Structure 1
Amino acid sequence: MEAPSSLKTLCRFVETTLLPEDKTLQFTIDKEVFGGERDTFLLPEDITQFAGMEEIGATVLAVYMRYLHDVLKQANMCSMVGFIDPATVSANSGTITERSRLVAARLQKTDGHRVVDEEAKNIVNSALKIYNTHIARAGRKNVIWKTLSGTPKQPSNVECGYYVMRFMRDIIMDPSLGFEYKYAKGNQEASYPQEAIDEVRNEWAEFVFQIIKQGNY
């Protein structure tokens, strides 16, 4: 599978600069993105795995979220959509209670109401209860979950991270935030075409080049 040209160029930078000099890309994600400042280290293997459509981790997703935050700022949508650092809520980052508290803390740092598997539901349910208690608001006893069965289906487990990236992009690029209707049953059930995945891969690569131009390596 051929990578976008920007990603090929980025891989050449890895081969000619990062690997020979044993370097990584290091930069800071501002507090306004995740609610707290985050030092990020992008390894050469993160880039090559991304270029090869291999399974990707939380760091790659966090970098794309940082890019999408700029998109939100340009569209004056930062009060409508917020991000949670994927490294803090992944399965290996703590208990459900600990992750729920992190999600609740993130909600407390937002301007509005922002917001799978059963474990993820439990985390969000608990987080919303903690958040409502914090702001002394009487919320529903239970969160109402809707199954959006029309979302594009990933072919295998490997594409999970790429689909998350594309879902985030699709949500943000719609100012009406009408994804609930867009992904209603029967509206869209096929897999994303590779062109749609390559679009986010290209955006990611171009954003990483901006980091490189700033000398963060």
Structure 2
Amino acid sequence: MLPSDNEVSNSIYKAKTTVPDQSASTPTSHHTSVSAPKRRGPTTCKPQSTAALGKEDYPGSVRGTGKPEGKQGTTSGVVKVDDIKEVMEKCKQDKRANMQSKINIIKQQATTHLLPEDASVNSPSVHVPFDLPLIRSSCQSVDPYPVTTIKENVKISSPRQNKKIKNQSGELPIIGTLPPIVSDDVLPHLGDNCKQLVNLLTLLPSGEDYIDLEIDQTIFHHRNVGYVYVMMEDIQDLLTMNWLGVSIIQVFILFLNRLCNEFGVTSIGFACPTQISKDMVNLNGVAVTSYLIHVMDQHKNEQFILAPYHQEHHWLLLVICIRSRSVYVFDPKACNRTIEVKPCVNMAFRHIPTNGRGTRMVNWKQCKCPQQSGGVECGYYVLRNMYEMVTKYSSVDCFDEVFEQNSYSINEIDEIRDLWAKHFLEECM
């Protein structure tokens, strides 16, 4: 006859709490006889309840009731090690996802993938499965930043609105969330538009460190990415006379295109610097050539194509003249420099009809232009050169002697920075 429930409970309690004396023998059932352990501690024999009921124990189950039918559970309140590992892994994945958006922005500035869908050229479309280094301006030898492969066309999500801070004094509430991007000793030396830009950027929602601009395909002539991402770091570099990132050059091209429309200038077109850089030439020269063919076909009725070119941490300006089959090189740090994109440009010219002329040779001309005195001004000089070509020299037939060799003054550079800020305030904010 089986014992009652009270007897089973008493047996379970004794089996858990009673430690046998070294000189005593362990109680046994009528089936087995087991000696007590020689030292104090948990007994190695079967519990009394098991012996009484004749059923084997299983971990996680009530003692002596046999093998459970369903999944064994754990005592309430106890967390498994595997559960902790799973939570920690999820936290790591969330952190990687948060960091991924910033990597996406940098990738967008430099990556080229496909030829434009509407390109009227015979060259095949070429996919570029590589990552390009971030294009930055410096005449010093600095390694480019690596970029991680990520998804394309990442847009800013809807910003969280800042909660208004109650102001006990009765004045308007403070909504600024970011510190000024320049120090107090720099701000007084900036132009009015630059100062206004600094002040407005402090009102951006916390955590947003870039502003996206939709790319105008009629200006840049490619559909590789849909947006220009202007990082706060890029704007800070512009205001502090540091190296210029490619997004600053692209925004200034948008400004110059607007000036052309306002002034009725129809002789000038533009090429996107991300598509013709030395890094892009090294990764996929065929794609660069195809892009140049497309741009030259689109601007076959214009006199000049302004093409800012980045090579070895240095900005210079290429001016392509289709009619005269010439390329003018404006290098703010002139030297015996090999232009790595030259073969791609020459090949693109071979797709342009010669209009009865027998020669297909391209005339490359190193032109006089203002020379920088330091190591980081090249980007500003390229912007100034393009600005004067649009506003002063848009009607000339050639650029051989339009510039002097002298350096630009600080006031001329400051004017360019203020014009950039003015356009950004009016068109991009």
TM-score bracket relative to the smaller structure: 0.7 to 0.9
TM-score (norm 1): 0.83
Per-residue deviation, 1:86: 0.8
Higher relative contact order (Cα pairs below 8 Å, separated by 6+ residues): 1
What is aligned with 2:352?
A: 132
Q: Structure 2: how far apart are the matches of 1:39 and 1:124?
A: 26
Confirm or deny that 1:12 pairs with 2:199: yes
CA drift at 1:137: 7.4
1:169 matched to 2:355? The reply is no
Instruction: Go from structure 1 to structure 2 and tell me whether the alpha carbon gap of 1:70 and 1:139 turns closer, same or farther (over 3 Å shift).
Output: farther
CA, structure 1 residues 18+141, in 2 after alignment: closer, same or farther (shift >3 Å)?
same
Written as runs of structure 1 = structure 2, the 5 A alignment for 1:113-192 is: 113=302, 114=304, 115=320, 116=329, 117-129=338-350, 131-132=351-352, 140-149=359-368, 151-174=369-392, 175-177=394-396, 179-183=399-403, 188-192=404-408
SS of corresponding position for 1:55: coil
- In structure 1, distance between residues paired with 2:358 and 2:411: 42
Unpaired runs of 5+ residues, structure 2, are: 1-185, 305-319, 321-328, 330-337
TM-score of the aligned structures, taking structure 2 as reference length: 0.44
Which amino acid counterpart does residue 168 of structure 1 have in structure 2? M
**8 Å Cα contact 1:132/1:138 also seen in 2:** no
| Partners of 1:26 and 1:42 within 8 A in 2 | yes
- Structure 2 partner of 1:29: 215
Q: Is the 8 A contact 2:197 2:425 kept in 1?
A: yes
Q: Structure 1: where are the runs of 5+ without partners?
A: none
The match for 1:108 among 279, 290, 297 is: 297
Q: 1:203 — aligned with what?
A: 419
Confirm or deny: 8 A CA contact 1:96 1:119 kept in the other structure. no
2:241 corresponds to: 53
Cα distance, 1:143 vs. partner?
Answer: 0.6
Letter in 1 for 2:200: F
Task: From the two aligned structures, give the one with the greater helix fraction.
Answer: 1
Whichever residue aligns with residue 125 of structure 1, its letter is N
SS at match of 1:47: helix
The answer (yes or no) to whether the contact 2:372–2:378 under 8 Å persists in 1 is yes
1:96 aligns with 2:315: no
* Rounded Cα–Cα distance in structure 1 between residues aligned with 2:288 and 2:193: 35
Letter in 1 for 2:276: V
Identity %: 24
Q: In 2, Cα distance between the equivalents of 1:209 and 1:101? A: 35
- The offset of 1:23, in angstroms, is 4.3
- Give, in whole Å, the separation in 2 of the partners of 1:102 and 1:25: 27
SS state at 2:195 partner: helix
Change (3 A) 1:196 1:22: same
- Whether the 8 Å contact between 2:349 and 2:360 is mirrored in structure 1 is no
Residues 18, 24 of structure 1: 8 Å contact kept? no
1:152 deviates by 0.3
Residue 201 of structure 1, CA deviation: 0.8
Q: Deviations 1:94-118 (Å, cap 9, x if unpaired)? A: 3333312211111112241532542
Secondary structure at 1:27's aligned position in 2?
A: strand
Deviations 1:171-209 (A, max 9, x none): 1112323532313xxxx1111111111111111001110
Higher mean alpha-carbon deviation, 67-76 vs 109-118, is at 109-118
Contact 1:99 1:123 in 2 (8 A): yes
- The structure with more radius of gyration: 2
Q: Relative to structure 1, is the Cα distance of residues 212 and 171 closer, same or farther in structure 2, using a 3 angstrom cutoff? A: closer
Structure 1 runs (4+) deviating above 4 angstroms are: 135-139
How many residue pairs get aligned? The number is 204
C-alpha RMSD of the superposition: 2.4
